[in-house]
Structure 1
Amino acid sequence: MKLMGSDINLDQGVYVDSMGAVLNPDMVEIENGGCVGRDALLFGHIYEGEEGKVKFGKIRVGEGGFVGSRAVVMPGVRVESWGNLSALSLAMKEEIIRSR
């Protein structure tokens, strides 16, 4: 992912299991200690509206944030520091996943 343009701090404990798909890796940012589980789908763009215009949105996983296995993350989603998107969950466009 880093070689494809993602902003990832590999030397700061970021963990990414095998990815199901990363569409637009340049739109993904994972901070220190962030974790993305097995087969999670990170979508950096969607087609929206009747004309099917492409909309982009940066996906951010904050410090210690977690995206579970097989979760789906749409454009513009922000997993805040220590936030948790559970396995098999869907984070809709521009949703904010907060810590408790």
Structure 2
Amino acid sequence: MPKPPHICNCGQIVPHGERCACQIVRTRARNRRHDARRPSAAQRGYNHEWRKARVEFLRLHPCCAMCGAPADVLDHVKPHRGDMVLFWDRSNWQPLCKSCHDRVKQRTDCSQ
């Protein structure tokens, strides 16, 4: 049996498992504000040296640490939050596929 729709704060009826258009607009605006304050990738340490280290690490560790699929993302196990010692600590690196990184890993990072 399908689950019932819910009512958004704006008063719209939204099918189960979907988001209201107003929620999508608010999320995009919040993300734009966050990105405007966030340093660039290069300022956060993701430069040429990182890209070379990433390619080498993924060559040596080609499988996702979570599901075993081919890995294409080099992830920090513990978020470094700007700590360059932790950023370059190879024991804090793990290979992940994009799916695990974008879904499973990000969900666990948000709860920390």
How high is the TM-score relative to the length of structure 1? Answer: 0.25
Structure with greater contact order relative to length (CA < 8 Å, sep ≥ 6): 1
- Choose 1 or 2 for highest CA Rg: 2
Structure in which a larger fraction of residues adopt helix: 2
Name whichever structure is richer in strand by fraction.
Answer: 1
